[in-house]
Amino acid sequence: MTARLIDGLAMASQIRAGLAEHALDMKTRQGGIVPGLAVILVGDDPASQVYVRNKNRVCEEVGFRSYSHTLPSSTTEIDLLTLINGLNNNPQVNGILIQLPLPEHLNERTVINAIDPIKDVDGFHPVNVGRQTTGLMSLAPCTPLGCMMILNEDLPDLGGKKALVVGRSNIVGKPMALMLIQSSCTVTVAHSRTQNLREECLAADILVAAIGRPAFIKGDWIKEGAVVIDVGINRITDPETGKHKLCGDVEFDVARERAAAITPVPGGVGPMTIACLMQNTMQATMMQNGWGW
């Protein structure tokens, strides 16, 4: 069997097109509301700068306002918290995102906790985590949200499927496991202390890899006919060309011969993450204008 390639670029483009239409309708027919996303970058990490530029570009594409705040790496916690407080109180800003990681002297938890939960478009605030866990309306983390959209499109009924999530971070693995449970999958979460990962993989109808190690999940660990979602983004040097390239956590070429469907890296989960950020910004805007919460 050769797996069907899941086209995250195409799915994300469809989501963005739908959001652009919705944003235009809001602006012209629903009182001139324009969703606004503020992105805060502290320091000059080149990868983070690229991510922030992409987020601003996509904001413009879908007709949202974007507000960029680039601060020096010497920024104090109090200065950062003051900025967040201002954005919390700014009615034109509906979503606030802190580009992670932060410089070491800043406490990530304190900073995330300072964001008003109704503007927490990354879905990392404890209020959103708690609401999500108990099944209340919440802003959910973008990457697992994107993975769920892919899975829902690929498998009409997730109920009863055996799902394995490899990785248990707060931003990918844990919320991913929770969303799969809420979709009635039977979920196993693996991590660096897991024994017999190969056997766990071979039993999984759905495998989500979020580790951060290139091709760590071997292709022959994939169950025949499984759906494989590769979240990993690893920069490696191509031995043939000597150039840098991106690869996932799954040994793609071999896995592709066993899976029913698989996300490529790049072009799979990555574009869906940004599309879901825009969707969360739209949801936050709607919640702030009286639609639920």
Which sequence positions are flagged as catalytic?
55, 99, 122
CA distance 244 to 235: 6
The span of 36-44, 104-112, 120-128, 171-179 binding ligand NDP (CB under 6 A) equals 171-179
| 237 in contact with ligand NDP (CB under 6 A) | no
* Binding residue (CB under 6 A) for ligand NDP from 94, 99, 128, 143: 143
Q: Closer CB to ligand NDP, residue 117 or residue 232?
A: 232
CB of 113 to ligand NDP, least distance (A): 19
* Dihedral angle, C-alpha 201, 248, 269, 175, nearest 10 °: 50
Strands of the chain (E only): list them: 4-5, 36-42, 65-71, 95-98, 162-166, 186-190, 206-209, 227-230, 234-237, 244-247, 261-262
CB of 291 to ligand NDP, least distance (A): 27
CB of 52 to ligand NDP, least distance (A): 14
Q: Tokens 């503020």: give the residue.
A: 38
Sheet holding 65-71, edge to edge: 65-71, 36-42, 95-98
| 273 in contact with ligand NDP (CB under 6 A) | yes
* Binding residue (CB under 6 A) for ligand NDP from 29, 193, 243, 244: 193
| Tokens read off for 261 | 């469907």
> What's phi and psi for 229, nearest 5 deg?
-110, 115
Which residues contribute to the site for ligand NDP (CB under 6 A)? 143, 166-169, 171-173, 190-194, 197, 210-213, 231-234, 269-270, 273
